[in-house]
């Protein structure tokens, strides 16, 4: 069984977990529609990636 050689203070023990926080996602601007989107991903709004159409957006049906 593992036994610590020395006592670890509360400050030293808690400082190990001080930097475990979430970071903001890296967002870049789409070159076509200028909406914010994640980097290296096809734009969900217009379907363009790197200035080229990749996904053709379907038109919504009107009743």
How far is it, in rounded angstroms, from Cα 33 to Cα 55?
A: 14
> According to the model, what pLDDT value does residue 63 have?
64
Least Cα distance to 53 among 38, 42, 61, 63 occurs for 42
- pTM metric for this prediction: 0.54
Q: Burial, 45: exposed, middle or buried (Cβ in 10 Å; 0-12, 13-18, 19+)?
A: middle
User: In the predicted model, is pLDDT for residue 13 greater than 70?
Assistant: yes
Average pLDDT taken over every residue of the chain: 87
User: Where does the pLDDT of residue 55 fall: very low under 50, low under 70, confident under 90, or very high at 90 and above?
Assistant: confident
Could you tell me what percent of the chain has a pLDDT over 70?
A: 90
Q: Where are the domains of the chain?
A: 24-54
């Amino acid at each position: 069984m593992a036994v610590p050689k020395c006592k670890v203070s509360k400050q030293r023990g808690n400082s190990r977990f001080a930097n475990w926080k979430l970071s903001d996602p890296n967002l870049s601007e789409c070159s076509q529609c200028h909406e914010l989107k994640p980097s290296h991903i096809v734009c969900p709004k217009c379907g363009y990636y790197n200035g080229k159409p990749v996904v053709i957006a379907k038109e919504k049906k009107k009743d």
